A and B are shown apart, each in its own frame.
Chain A
Amino acid sequence: MHSTASETERAGAAAGAPAQDAAASRTPLRATADNGLKIVIVGGFGVGKTTMVRSVSEIRPLSTEETMTRAGVGVDDPTGVEAKSTTTVAFDFGRISVNDSAVLYLFGAPGQERFWFLWDRLFSGTLGAVVLVDTRRLDDSWYAIDRLEAHGMPFIVARNDFGGPQHSPEQVREALDLSPDIPLIDCDARDRESAKTVLITLVDHLYALSVQETAP
């Protein structure tokens, strides 16, 4: 049992989980809070999702995971042993209180292909998404952008500045095959003001879409 526990600790540390006592660090919500909202920050490994959550969250980012089992699709295994596959997705989150009623949760979610069948389950009802990209690894973002479009989920793209070679916004837009109506901005995920600007850009975009939709 002891070895199991220590392996678990290592696994948690390797995943970058903060080793805090969550209960001690938690700021309680207002007693009147009754409407949870979601925004998802999606991107490849190491692109700065958790950093961005940390920059704006009123609590230290927490980590958890969801495990789902699904019947194998297109699996042709005569033994039947592998007929089901279990996928575990770990994600971090933080939160921002909006008013007496609404509280916004920010989720940092991995953008890899194997994660996407969980999207409906985890993130249905999400207001919108930020695709966080590293221009040194743009191909990490193609799949996420494709899936968001397929889900009809409004999103913006934020380029996290890692000090690599400079590409013009037009070059990035072209490389990502991004349509002109989707906002693209630069950011530094470590910087609170910059991370704020990213979220404001997303909500401004949502607002514009909402006004469009309700226009006669």
Chain B
Amino acid sequence: MRRLGPDDDPDRLYTVTGGRSRAADDRTLDLVTLIVSECEPAPGMQSEHVRILAMCRRPVAVVEVSAELRMPVSVVRILLSDLLDTGKVTARHPRPVTQAHLPDTDLLKEVLDALHRL
């Protein structure tokens, strides 16, 4: 395993994404959108897709996929968009929270309870 660093070879990331810098719907994948596999890896799939499908048998956040693949979040969003487009994974999006509209008090109570239990 290696971690992507500032000196890493950009050609590899270019190849992984087929040269695309941005998928059409990448903004809809939040850091904490949870990804779930809907099928098993199959022969002939791109190796990163295979790893994602194996990793996401239980829900995994986009940012965790990024950390485990050791690729920037922007690259992982593109890989995930491919899998979403073909129905191989599904995405569970976070419930929207905006600054003008704080999360409801019930949810905050649940968070408080979880923190007290730590």
**What number of B residues sit within 8 Å (CB to CB) of A?**
53
The verdict on B107 contacting chain A, using a C-beta distance below 8 Å, is yes
Question: In whole Å, how far is B58's beta carbon from the nearest beta carbon of chain A?
Answer: 4
The verdict on B83 contacting chain A, using a C-beta distance below 8 Å, is no
Question: In whole Å, how far is A153's beta carbon from the nearest beta carbon of chain B?
Answer: 6
Q: Provide the residues of chain B in CB contact with A30, threshold 8 Å.
A: 58-59
Q: Provide the residues of chain A in CB contact with B96, threshold 8 Å.
A: 125
Question: In whole Å, how far is A43's beta carbon from the nearest beta carbon of chain B?
Answer: 19
The verdict on A206 contacting chain B, using a C-beta distance below 8 Å, is yes
With A125-B96, A204-B112, A211-B105 already in contact, the answer to whether A9 and B32 are too (CB < 8 A) is no
- Residues A17 and B3 in contact, CB atoms below 8 Å apart: yes
- Residues A65 and B4 in contact, CB atoms below 8 Å apart: yes
The verdict on B24 contacting chain A, using a C-beta distance below 8 Å, is no
- Residues A127 and B103 in contact, CB atoms below 8 Å apart: yes
With A35-B95, A105-B31 already in contact, the answer to whether A7 and B5 are too (CB < 8 A) is yes
Interface of A is mostly: mixed
**What number of A residues sit within 8 Å (CB to CB) of B?**
69
Question: 22 interchain pairs (CB within 8 A)?
Answer: A5-B2, A9-B5, A11-B7, A21-B1, A29-B59, A29-B60, A30-B58, A34-B92, A38-B94, A62-B63, A93-B63, A97-B114, A98-B113, A103-B34, A103-B61, A105-B31, A192-B118, A204-B112, A206-B102, A206-B108, A210-B102, A214-B105
Residue positions of A touching B, CB distance < 8 A: 1, 4-5, 7-12, 15, 17, 21-23, 26, 28-31, 33-38, 56, 62-69, 88, 93, 95-99, 102-105, 107, 122-127, 151-154, 192, 196, 199-200, 203-204, 206-207, 209-211, 213-214
| Closest 3 pairs between A and B when the two form their complex, measured CB to CB | A36-B32, A11-B5, A12-B3
